[in-house]
Amino acid sequence: MSVTLIHNPNCSKSNKTLQLLRDNGVEPTIIDYLSDPLTTKQLSNILQLLALKPHEFIRKKESAYHSLKLEEASLPDEALIQIMIANPMLIERPIVLSKGKAVIGRPPELALTIL
């Protein structure tokens, strides 16, 4: 089974999700999206799999969200995707991909629902 984890090693939820996968016998392909940024196509595909719009997926508590005044902006989806690509900390995580499905590991146990 092929499983990919879009991972931030400094995020407790991301680390818990990784450990949960490993505890269940799954060694995922890990993409540290901060050091290996997602492409526009990858992020768009993830959003499609999650059935979410960018404004539903963006991390609203990050300082970049406020410094870019995104709470006040009414931007099209494509513009928000480009902002998330340029500021990857705005991308919600962890994301688990498997079998043509995706889930956000919040709580980490949700990762097991697509295995």
Among residues 11, 50, 89, 115, which one is catalytic? 11
| Catalytic annotation present for 11 | yes
Using CA atoms of 30, 23, 16, 82 in order, give the dihedral in degrees to the nearest 10. Answer: 30
Residue type (1 letter), 97: L
What does the block give as tokens for 73? 């902006």
Q: 113: exposed, middle or buried (C-beta count within 10 Å: 0-12, 13-18, 19+)? A: exposed
Active-site amino acid positions: 11
